[in-house]
Amino acid sequence: MDGPRTGHGLDAMRIHVCAVGRLRAGPEHTLIQDYLKRFDRTGRPLSLGPASIIEVEDKKNTGKVGEAVLLQRSTPEGSVICALDERGKTLSSPQFADLLADMRDQGTRDLAFVIGGADGLAPDIRDQAQFALSFGAMVWPHMLARVMLCEQLYRAASILAGKPYHRV
């Protein structure tokens, strides 16, 4: 990449991490807050952000189908939906950065990443997603997937800003 992809003149693309389960205080929560703070600071001049976490809880214990309904309700209307799913596409960090920049440049106002609970996502929410992203062939705990996503959001903003955080 030759220089920063700033997105000047574009409306900011808001990022929503819609996830099943409540993340309690602890190391994962601390990491997520740190990465989101960094993302917001780095992404703002790039017309990326703010980023928010939207947690849903299946109190009736209805499984993936009930979780899917809650996740669908949690995504802002008109959002482009990206499902985090082991069957999704694996991207390098620069490819992920380009994906975010391309969505922003195409006028996407809201991008919602959906993360299922311990049993993953229901097929209907995967089918509704415009994109499915995988963090590799291994299955990750859904709480760690949140941390990894938030770190990659910050890394993507750093790449697009031409900052040295990402090293090849």
CA distances from 12 to 19, 45, 115, 129 (A): 22, 9, 23, 21
Tokens of 112: 């919602």
* H or E stretch at 32: helix 27-43
pLDDT at position 154, please? 98
Can you give the pLDDT at residue 36? 98
State residue 164's pLDDT score. Answer: 87
Position 5 scores a pLDDT of 59
Report the CATH superfamily, name and number, of domain 13-161.
Answer: SPOUT methyltransferase, trefoil knot domain (3.40.1280.10)
Q: What is the DSSP string of 138-168?
A: S---HHHHHHHHHHHHHHHHHHHHT-TTS--
Q: How far is CA 69 from CA 4, 64, 125, in A?
A: 38, 9, 8
Give the torsion sign (CA, 12, 10, 95, 120).
positive
Domain limits, the chain: 13-161
Give the whole-angstrom CA distance, residue 148 versus residue 10.
27
Q: Tokens in use for 17? A: 């991490």
According to the model, what pLDDT value does residue 8 have? 54
User: What DSSP character marks residue 24?
Assistant: P
Is residue 46 within 8 A of residue 160, CB to CB? The reply is yes
pLDDT per residue as tens, the chain (168 positions):
445 555 555 689 999 999 999 988 899 999 999 999 999 999 999 999 999 999 999 888 888 889 999 999 999 999 999 999 999 999 999 999 999 999 999 999 999 999 998 888 999 999 999 999 999 988 888 889 999 999 999 999 999 999 988 776
Region of 107 please: left (phi>0), alpha (psi -120 to 50) or beta: left
Give the H or E element holding residue 89.
Answer: strand 80-90
According to DSSP, the residues that pair with 15 across neighbouring strands are: 51, 111
- Confidence (pLDDT) at 11: 83
